[in-house]
Amino acid sequence: MLLPVFLGGLAAFPVVLGTTSACSSALKAAVATDAAAFAARTYDYIIIGGGTAGLTLAARLSADKSVTVGIIEAGIYHQGDPVILTPELSLPGGGGNATYDWLFTTVPEPGANGRSIAQPRGKMVGGSSGLNLMAWGRGSREEYDAWKTLSGSSDWSWSALQPYFARSQTVDQQYQTNPFPGASSSQEAASFTHGGSGPIQASYNVLYPDIIPAYVQTWNNLGISTNGDADAGTTVGIFNSRSSVDRQKGVRSYAANSYFEQSCARPNLFIVAGAQATKISFKKSNSGKHTAQSVAFTVASRSYTASTRKEVILSAGAVQTLLELSGIGNAALLKSLGITPLVNLTGVGENLQEHVFSIAEFQLNSGHLTFDELNNNATFSAQQQALYAFNHTGWLAANDAAQTFTPFQLTCNVTVQAALLAAFDNYTSSHKLTPLQSAQYKLQRQWITTGNVPMAESILIGRGAIAPQAGDSYMTMLMGTLHPMARGSVHINSTVGTAAPIITGNYLDNDYDVQTILQALKFVQKLGQTAPISSDIATIIQPAVTDDDDLIDWIRNTLSPGDHLLGTAAMATQALGGVVDPTLTVYGTTNLRVVDASIIPFTVGAHIQSTVYAIAEKAADLIQGKSCT
């Protein structure tokens, strides 16, 4: 996530990372070039968006030598760029910089006291997997089983997705440092068994801020147990998240340097980078459905068109508006802009969900070793940079990994739990709900009352984030929603294919979401006063208030995005207003699929990248007519 305040991080420094692949020169040529040559070919599959899902799919589909795959990606490949690759630099990494980020923002959000909220999205080969904070984990079983309910297909469930989660990752078996007290050794051992031999390298850190054991112990003392295997179907508890970091190389493992580098030398895989797709064109088939034939794209203000024999796959991410630009969406909206509607699908661009966070910052007593040391101690920083340049270890290869996922039962007394449920029920009874919302909230209400699916997340950032003072060290906490009730939207506001989408988050537009964060924030204030972490803490710096109304104002003023936008092309039945069916095909079309975070019909309480990779792995099987056993 993007912190609401400036983070005094290290400036990027040049290191040479020895990752020149066999295909890098071919790739550079493909990138620099030749949009005309790309457009001249007819592909079996055109993938729009070479991001997290798009590159995964491209690698799997192009394994079949008999087909051709063409990728159209708006960004370029930042191969070997330390801003992307160095784990410690990922906060903020390429976020907020036009070289890497689309720099989208929401409309002014009333729930955030009128602020427009930045919504970073990766614009590069690798997409948001090159921009994210590398937390690597799965949600809870019930959250994926919800997809079965909403899509009406048993193809999508926790158990159906397991082989695809495994296929995308390799869990590092060597670096098993886990300084989190309280995990049972059997859970810990089991946590190493979820991987396959997939392209994404998932690993624990080797180094941690020295407060971690006391911090974890404090959560335990407050009744929140350590979860030694949060990928096994329940995320409740405090756990040491793995990161998508290749521990051998000490670099971010993301779609570009894994899936893409492993496939880009294939003669049947093509990419045009720096190319923005602006429209998909269809012909109407005898069935009355629309068949995608070609994709128009723009490179440096020149327009081109590439054609497909089989399919077009939209992997442009959850804030894309290409469906609407291509005539698929709410007919009334399309007509108002002069676009002839081909398919009247009112769910397109709706159902936007995002985890949102607030922040608290504690100053530590002197003598603690946190990431702040890189800013505070020039000798230490120089040593760490030299070490990283030497063998890619040390503090620059580390990042934050302590996450706590809580249902209300673990953080609130019964009176407050009842008030939260009342706020939830008040929302559902006082709003006109879409059929999809009704189905979602029905599931969510069960999760709230049983407490088996967490509703809030607290993340430790082992450094100062709000105006850190030289010489001091900090513990920053981010508290957010895992199942917000707010539903936003992403729509076009013009027919210009390269115009930015209008993103309306509606963040904190309801009391349930506000109270969810408020209770998490109050719990973290209590945590800071509880032993043993209390003896490491000098003072809570922010928020400096304790009254509920003041805290709510703090939450609105500091609201920041969790960067898990999803749901805008929901996989749900047509009765529920879905956009894609369980084969991920857009309703009303024969050969246009959406494969990315936008198909997730209902948010999962997790950092969602591994879920997106699993979706793309599964989509590859669906497209190739295989099933995974």
Ligand X SMILES: *[C@@H]1O[C@H](CO)[C@@H](O)[C@H](O)[C@H]1NC(C)=O
Stretch that binds ligand FAD, among 67-75, 423-431, 456-464, 514-522 (CB under 6 A): 67-75
| Dist CA 200 CA 613 (whole Å) | 9
For 409, the 3-state DSSP assignment is: helix
| Dist CA 57 CA 80 (whole Å) | 23
Nearer to ligand X, 232 or 421 (CB): 421
Q: Identify the residue among 39, 61, 313, 322 touching ligand FAD (CB under 6 A).
A: 322
Q: Where do we find the tokens 């709900």? A: 433
| Dist CA 91 CA 89 (whole Å) | 5
Residues in the chain: 629
Count CB atoms within 10 A of the CB of residue 624: 13
Q: Which long-range contacts (CB under 8 A, 24 or more apart) does 425-433 make?
A: 426/511, 427/485, 427/510, 427/511, 427/512
For 351, the 3-state DSSP assignment is: coil
- With binding defined as CB under 6 A, does residue 73 bind ligand FAD? yes
The pair of three-digit structure tokens given for residue 117, joined into one six-digit string? 């909220």
Contact 349, 337 (CB under 8 A): no
299 bridge partner residues? 302
- With binding defined as CB under 6 A, does residue 131 bind ligand FAD? yes
The pair of three-digit structure tokens given for residue 92, joined into one six-digit string? 């903020």
- With binding defined as CB under 6 A, does residue 390 bind ligand X? yes
- The mark string for 398-427 relative to ligand X (x by CB under 6 A, - otherwise) is ---------------x-xx------x--x-
Q: Identify the residue among 66, 286, 379, 535 touching ligand X (CB under 6 A).
A: 379
Q: Identify the residue among 170, 227, 440, 609 touching ligand FAD (CB under 6 A).
A: 609
- With binding defined as CB under 6 A, does residue 493 bind ligand X? yes
Residue 291: CB minimum distance to ligand X, A: 21
Name residues whose C-beta falls within 8 Å of residue 23's C-beta, 6 or more positions apart in sequence: 261, 264, 265
| Dist CA 547 CA 561 (whole Å) | 24
φ/ψ region of 227 (left if φ > 0, alpha if ψ in -120 to 50, else beta) reads beta
Backbone angles phi, psi at 593, to 5 degrees: -110, 155
42 bridge partner residues? 307
> Count residues contacting ligand X (CB under 6 A)?
24
- The mark string for 126-165 relative to ligand X (x by CB under 6 A, - otherwise) is ----------------------------------------
Residue 576: CB minimum distance to ligand FAD, A: 21
- Just list the catalytic residues: 564, 607
- The mark string for 554-573 relative to ligand FAD (x by CB under 6 A, - otherwise) is ---------xx---------
Name residues whose C-beta falls within 8 Å of residue 243's C-beta, 6 or more positions apart in sequence: 87, 134, 135, 136, 202, 203, 204, 205, 399, 401
The interface partner of residue 95, options being ligand X, ligand FAD, none and the CB cut-off 5 to 8 Å by kind, is ligand FAD
Nearer to ligand X, 178 or 384 (CB): 384
> Of 83-102, which residues contact ligand FAD (CB under 6 A)?
95
The interface partner of residue 30, options being ligand X, ligand FAD, none and the CB cut-off 5 to 8 Å by kind, is none
> Of 260-289, which residues contact ligand FAD (CB under 6 A)?
276-277
| Dist CA 360 CA 544 (whole Å) | 9
Closest CA to 87 of 385, 396, 393, 384: 396
User: Rounded to an integer, what is the distance from CA 421 to the centroid of its chain?
Assistant: 28
The interface partner of residue 287, options being ligand X, ligand FAD, none and the CB cut-off 5 to 8 Å by kind, is none
| Dist CA 454 CA 520 (whole Å) | 12
- With binding defined as CB under 6 A, does residue 134 bind ligand FAD? yes
- With binding defined as CB under 6 A, does residue 366 bind ligand X? no
Nearer to ligand X, 269 or 348 (CB): 348
The interface partner of residue 415, options being ligand FAD, ligand X, none and the CB cut-off 5 to 8 Å by kind, is ligand X
Q: Identify the residue among 4, 50, 209, 250 touching ligand FAD (CB under 6 A).
A: 50
Interface residues with ligand FAD (CB under 6 A) are 1, 48-54, 72-75, 95, 120-124, 127-129, 131-135, 276-277, 315-318, 320, 322, 563-564, 596-597, 607-609, 612
Interface residues with ligand X (CB under 6 A) are 83, 97, 99, 107, 331, 344, 346, 377, 379-380, 383, 387, 390-391, 393, 413, 415-416, 423, 426, 430, 493, 502, 511
